[in-house]
Amino acid sequence: MNDKLINIRQLIANAKQREGASAQLSRLLSARANHLHEAIKLPTQEAEELLAEFVIRYIAQVPEFIEAISDITKEAGIFDGILPLLNIASDYFLAPPDIIGNHAQLEALLDEAYLAHRLLEEVNDRFIGYCGIPLAPMDMTRANVIAHELIGEPYANELDQAVLFSAELLLNQYSFAGESFKHYIALHKSRGWSQELQRWPCLTEDLAIVLDFSNNLKDTVRH
């Protein structure tokens, strides 16, 4: 897993360097900024800059999350049960599925990051349904909704379907069972996640973009 994370971070660094020369992502975001759902609140003067910062952070969070979840689950003795999930999330970058189009590099990485984040969100949601707590203390719902809007429909919906297919295959083959999982669940039900959030601040969401769910944006973009 360490080698995969090194390779992912190098991909991101190379893409950022190329973006600095081409400004392809900036042109995309400039075009998208005026066509986002009304629930996404952006200051008029800083819209493009905020969206660019969001995209870079959103992409960079994937290896951070994978590394943090790896460490958390290794310490809990459940890493082997979680490794298939982390491998799929990593391989979205290293061996992207055919659905990823021939985009400029950072644009493609946004698509790949969306796949990874949505897979982690989907598994987290199902883990909550299974045992009452998340697999890891992260909530990327707001960020994923914004990314969905930036990617645009119908393509973002196709990515969602690919995630659901991967999640079904994963959860049909692997179950969250065994004494180590039971201990992990009982521990975090009793004491929460404060220790993990202190050690891995990347698991807390930090977005300057305001999202108003009163307009049912989440339901709109997921259907």
Tens of pLDDT, residue by residue over 4-15, are: 999 999 999 988
Domain around 64? 2-221
Spatial distance between the Cα atoms of 107 and 109, rounded to a whole number of angstroms: 5
Task: Give the pLDDT band (50/70/90) at residue 177.
Answer: confident
Residue range 185-198: average pLDDT? 92
Residue range 175-194: average pLDDT? 91
Q: Determine phi and psi for 211, rounding to 5 degrees.
A: -125, 120
Residue range 196-207: average pLDDT? 81
Query: Of the given ranges (44-58, 146-160, 163-177, 201-215), which has the lowest mean pLDDT?
Result: 201-215
Tens of pLDDT, residue by residue over 119-149, are: 999 999 988 988 899 999 988 888 999 999 9
Count other C-beta atoms under 10 Å from residue 77's C-beta.
14
Contact 9, 93 (CB under 8 A): no
Task: Give the pLDDT band (50/70/90) at residue 78.
Answer: very high
pLDDT at 191: 92
Number of domains in the chain: 1
More confident residue, 215 or 162: 162
